[in-house]
Every structure is written in C-alpha cells, then in structure tokens.
Amino acid sequence: MDDRLRRSLLYVPASSEAMLRKAPSRGADAIIVDLEDGVLPDAKEGARARAEGLWLELDLGLAEVLLRVNAPGTPWHEDDLLAAARIRPAGLVLPKCEDPGTIAAVAARLEATPLFLMVETARGVLVAPELARAPHVAGLLFGAADFRANVRASREPDEGEILVARSALVLAARAAGVEVFDTPHFEYRDEPGLERSARRARALGFDGKTCIHPAQVAVVNRVFAPTVEEVERARRVVEALKAAEREGRGVATVDGEMVEALHGREARRTLDRARRAGAA
C-alpha cells in the first residue's frame, strides 16, 4: 500500500461542474468523482463526458482524485470503464461489490489502477474477505444507506444496526492488508452526529470516512488524525522503550501501563500519521 494519508474522501457528483471545479480545494485527502448514485440516469452520459473532459483541468491541489463508476450489470458500467481507462484516475471506486470474479476482471482491464471496493449489501459483507484479497484492491468502502435498505435495517441513533457490518469490513481489510473507509453520514448539517459516527468508526479501526458535503471534511480530518495527547503519549512510549532497551529490557512502563514492542510499533504508526497530517 502507498504512503498516502486518507482520512476524508469527498463524493462529488460529476453532474455538477461547479462542485467538481472547487472540490479539490475543500481540504479532503481524496475526492471521489461520482458517476453512480449521485447522478440521475438521464444525466449519466453527460456526467461521464464532463468528468472526462474536466479531469486534466481539475486543479488537484493535494487531493487524490478517484472515479466512482456504475456497478457491473448496469447499462453504464462498460462505457464508464472505457472512460476510466482513458482517464487513468488515481483509483477506481466500484460500487455494490459482491463477486470477487468480477473484481478480478475489472482489475485485469485497468491494469495497475488501485481499486476501492464498496461493500454495501449483505452478500458483499459476507464475501468481504475474498473481495479484499482480489488483485489491485487498495481499500474497502462501507456504504450504509444501501446496506440498510438491502438488509431491511432501520436507522438507530447509536448506529447499532451497522456494527456487525462495519466490524466485518475492518476484519476483512486488515486480514488482506488493505485500507478501510466508513460510510458517509447523510445528515450533512448534523455536526455532532457526524463526529459521533466518525469516532465510532475510528474506534473500530477504520482509516477514514467518506463525506458527501464539504462541511464534513474538517470534522473527519480531525477525528482521524492523532490528537495532541496521543502524539505526546506515543513519543513517551518510543522514548521509554528505547531507554528500556539500553538497559537490556524489552518492556517499559508508561503512565502505569506496561508497554512492549507492539506498543512501540503502534506509537510509531501514530507519529507517522501525525507527521503526514501535519500535526507533528
């Protein structure tokens, strides 16, 4: 996996030229130019042409730009893939993934393009470990709106109805060594709700969260970057382990807690993420 920090990934419908043009300057680590559900069927062809025409003109800033195509089996999938092969986006987002064989076929056609697979159905969650191990997969994305509809779940304030699916994705991604990103929070004016949702996802192990509105980006970037306290503690863990090693010991004590090599690795990961987030 590459060295990019992906905390926030902002969906931008390719049907809106104004949104596309400004999207890279919204502070998201990645933007996902969307040809799928953010675009009405009648607008699909126009959106695809606009994405392709604008791609080279987009001022990418620091954002990485991914393309979300329509799912295999839809009338637009084939033309979307042809456009993707011409555009060569930094990554391709494939929605409603359920069949590892289909993923391998897409990967073969787009050669080295990293694939980000959306898991948003019961079948997708159940085969997530195989999806994550398909060729060229760089990450899994959870889509809770489709998932809830697919399993007939309701929406609970504590998001308890998506806990099992979220955890299944984290396990599948970690077992395959790929990244994993959480669902958008659809009430885009509800900042406290977004923050709670992002914190839950981070606690479960997610690397970042997808966004549907620019106002969500700063919250998500903050939640998925190490806090000042975490950075400070990580430094002390690294120092304590170094001191212990000089004395021939493999363990040390930090804040009354025993730490060993695994904590050292975790601390270095925290410091590395903080450095890449510009926070250390």
Q: Which residues bind ligand COA (CB under 6 A)?
A: 10-13, 18-19, 22-23, 34, 37-38, 184, 188, 212-214
Q: In this complex, which beta carbon is closest to Mg ion, that of residue 118 or of residue 274?
A: 118
Angle between helix 44-55 and 77-87 (nearest 10): 10
Q: In this complex, which beta carbon is closest to ligand COA, that of residue 34 or of residue 259?
A: 34
Residue 38 binds what, of Mg ion, ligand COA, none (CB under 5 to 8 Å, by partner type)? ligand COA
The angle subtended at Cα 194 by Cα 193 and Cα 195, nearest 5°, is 90
The 3-state DSSP class for residue 10 equals strand
Residue 27 binds what, of Mg ion, ligand COA, none (CB under 5 to 8 Å, by partner type)? none
Residue 18 binds what, of ligand COA, Mg ion, none (CB under 5 to 8 Å, by partner type)? ligand COA
Q: In this complex, which beta carbon is closest to ligand COA, that of residue 159 or of residue 188?
A: 188
Closest CA to 120 of 149, 155, 77: 149
Residue 21 corresponds to which amino acid? Answer: R
Q: In this complex, which beta carbon is closest to Mg ion, that of residue 29 or of residue 34?
A: 34
Q: How far is the CB of 35 from ligand COA (least distance, A)?
A: 10
Residue 13 binds what, of Mg ion, ligand COA, none (CB under 5 to 8 Å, by partner type)? ligand COA
How crowded is residue 152: how many other Cβ atoms within 10 Å of its Cβ? 7
φ/ψ of 73, rounded to 5, equals 95, -10
- Told to check if 143 binds Mg ion by CB under 5 A, we report yes
Residue 249 corresponds to which amino acid? Answer: R
CA gap 34, 191 in Å, rounded = 23
Among 146, 179, 182, 207, binds Mg ion (CB under 5 A): 146
The per-residue DSSP string of 93-138 comes to EE-S---HHHHHHHHHHTTT--EEEEE-SHHHHHTHHHHHTSTTEE
- Told to check if 100 binds Mg ion by CB under 5 A, we report no
Residue 146 binds what, of Mg ion, ligand COA, none (CB under 5 to 8 Å, by partner type)? Mg ion
CA gap 143, 110 in Å, rounded = 23
Residue 10 binds what, of ligand COA, Mg ion, none (CB under 5 to 8 Å, by partner type)? ligand COA
Q: In this complex, which beta carbon is closest to ligand COA, that of residue 41 or of residue 177?
A: 41
Q: In this complex, which beta carbon is closest to Mg ion, that of residue 66 or of residue 259?
A: 66
- Told to check if 182 binds Mg ion by CB under 5 A, we report no
The angle subtended at Cα 147 by Cα 22 and Cα 18, nearest 5°, is 15
Q: How far is the CB of 193 from ligand COA (least distance, A)?
A: 15
φ/ψ of 36, rounded to 5, equals -90, -120
**Binding-site ranges for Mg ion (CB under 5 A):** 120, 143, 146
